[in-house]
Copies of this chain bind each other. A is one copy, B any other.
């Protein structure tokens, strides 16, 4: 029997009206003869509201307490969806993350899933119920509630789909699927019907609106993930392992698949770092400990035994990162620490780019032609990323989208 795990984001359950719509969509899936598990996020801006309350009473809310507080948002939405399903005549039950068997470590606020015990979910499905699960949360071995980090309801859904060996995991959100670029920046951006896990993972890490950990987990357990709008009935994007043969002609022709962009990027440079083993660890370990994600790292060739190290962080982390790096620079006897904000990343992603250096030069030439200076460069096998001034991000995305033949075929 088909088993579908559906995930509905915060905007999809923002109020009673939308909760009713979501319940109707879940019911339709069940009527097609599938077992259905729905994973829901907190309603609209609930999480922000709860964070606001926490900040009102505390300068630095204790992570364990914060996790219990934030976990209530998903409990509210999952019970409301279950109630609505019963009201329209569909047997349903809500389960908290704990009841759904989402076991995690005790890294409050960013817990890792240690395993999913789907026993209770399966029992409820066997009894003919639709199961509505509170996303974003789990429980430690000591019965304390954890949350999996912002946006991690996707992760809950994929983990449950993997645990149930589900037919697929459907992510319903406020976008219509995965696009070749941000449609707000690039009017000619096209929705992709299919995309491979690896390309999606690069896109998610470099600006597409998906949680990279979810894609990774889906890839490991080979769970097909379908991303679509919870408001429109248009076809979304299927993310899965083998896509080329299923692609449309237009998409096969293009070896570059998309131009993801990311704003709110800042960079930090540490000057005159003595070039010896252990250098990277001494700079980056304190940042990791503070849970600051460092992305692109560039190290100049050593000149006179010292080197400059430059790396990017999210703008929201810049101040905290600078405090930490300034301390480190003093300790290791490095030179001055510089920073710049208001940067952005623009990337070109596609498995077809593997071993094709021509793509890099096309990218650099296109940006130069648009008068855009490149501040930093980073590449993977299937991605090239340039850090540029944030003001140029739309121009860059449009120029690259055109240069790599991604514009809508007219």
* A68 in contact with B57 (CB, 8 Å): no
A98: B residues at CB distance < 8 A: 143
Is there an interface contact between B94 and A79, defined as CB atoms closer than 8 Å? no
Residues of chain B lying within 8 A (CB to CB) of residue A75:
68-69, 71-72, 75
Q: Are A16 and B80 in contact (CB under 8 A)?
A: no
Tell me, yes or no, whether A227 is within 8 Å of chain B by CB: no
* Distance between A160 CB and nearest chain B CB, rounded to angstroms: 18
Indicate with 1 or 0, residue by residue over A57-97, a CB within 8 angstroms of chain B CB atoms: 11111101110110110011011111110110000011010
Check B84 against A80 for contact (C-beta < 8 Å).
no
Which of A48-56, A178-186, A283-291 is found at the contact surface with chain B? A48-56
Known: A58-B87, A65-B82. 17 other contacts (CB 8 A): A53-B76, A57-B84, A58-B84, A58-B86, A59-B87, A62-B82, A65-B86, A65-B94, A66-B83, A68-B75, A68-B78, A68-B94, A69-B76, A69-B79, A72-B75, A72-B76, A75-B75
Within residues 237 to 278 of chain A, which ones have a CB less than 8 A from any CB in chain B? none
Q: List 25 A-B contacts (CB under 8 A).
A: A16-B53, A16-B56, A16-B57, A19-B57, A50-B76, A54-B79, A54-B80, A57-B80, A57-B81, A58-B83, A61-B83, A62-B82, A64-B93, A65-B80, A65-B86, A66-B79, A66-B83, A68-B78, A68-B79, A68-B94, A68-B96, A69-B79, A75-B75, A98-B143, A99-B144
Choice from B54, B64, B72 contacting A72 with Cβ under 8 Å: B72
Tell whether A20 is near chain B: CB-to-CB under 8 Å.
yes
**B-chain residues with CB within 8 Å of residue A65 when the two chains form the complex:** 79-80, 82-83, 86, 93-94
Task: Give Cα A68–Cα B40 distance, bound, in whole angstroms.
Answer: 15
Chain B residues with Cβ below 8 Å from A64 are 93
- Which residues of chain A from 1 to 58 have a CB within 8 Å of any chain B CB? 16, 19-20, 23, 50, 53-54, 56-58
Q: How far is the CA of A68 from the CA of B97 in the complex (A)?
A: 12
Residues of B near A16 (CB, < 8 A) are 53, 56-57
Q: Can you tell how many copies of this chain the complex includes? A: 2
Residue ID in chain B nearest A62 by CB atoms: B86
A-side interface residues toward B, CB under 8 Å? Answer: 16, 19-20, 23, 50, 53-54, 56-62, 64-66, 68-69, 71-72, 75-76, 78-84, 86-87, 93-94, 96, 98-99, 143-145
Q: How far is the CB of A283 from chain B (nearest CB, A)?
A: 32
Residues of B within 8 A of A50 (CB): 76
Q: What distance in Å separates the Cβ of A143 from its nearest Cβ neighbour in chain B?
A: 6
Do residues A143 and B99 form an inter-chain contact, with CB atoms below 8 A?
yes
Residue among A56, A58, A69, A81 facing the most chain B CB atoms (10 A cut-off): A58
List 6 tightest A-B contacts by C-beta distance, closest first.
Answer: A16-B56, A72-B72, A58-B83, A69-B79, A57-B84, A58-B87
Q: Which residue of B lies closest to A80 (CB)?
A: B57
How far apart are A200's CB and chain B's nearest CB, in angstroms? 34
Q: From residue A32, how far is it (CB to closest CB) to chain B in Å?
A: 23
| B62 and A69 form a contact (CB under 8 A) | no
Given the known interface contacts A16-B53, A93-B64, the answer about A69 and B58 at a Cβ–Cβ threshold of 8 Å is no
Question: Which chain B residue lies CB-closest to A50?
Answer: B76
Report the nearest B residue to A16, measured CB to CB: B56
Q: Shortest distance in angstroms between A5's beta carbon and chain B's nearest beta carbon? A: 20
The answer to whether B62 and A83 have CB atoms under 8 Å apart is yes
Return A117 CB to nearest CB of chain B, in Å: 12
Of all chain B residues, which has the CB nearest A75? B72
A56 to B75, CA, bound (A): 17
A99 smallest CB distance to B (angstroms): 6
CB neighbours of A87 from chain B (8 A):
57-60
Smallest CB separation, A161 vs chain B (Å): 23
Q: What's the Cα separation between A53 and B17 when bound, in Å? A: 10
The smallest beta-carbon distance between A397 and chain B, in angstroms, is 40
Q: Which residues of B contact A54 (CB under 8 A)?
A: 79-80, 83
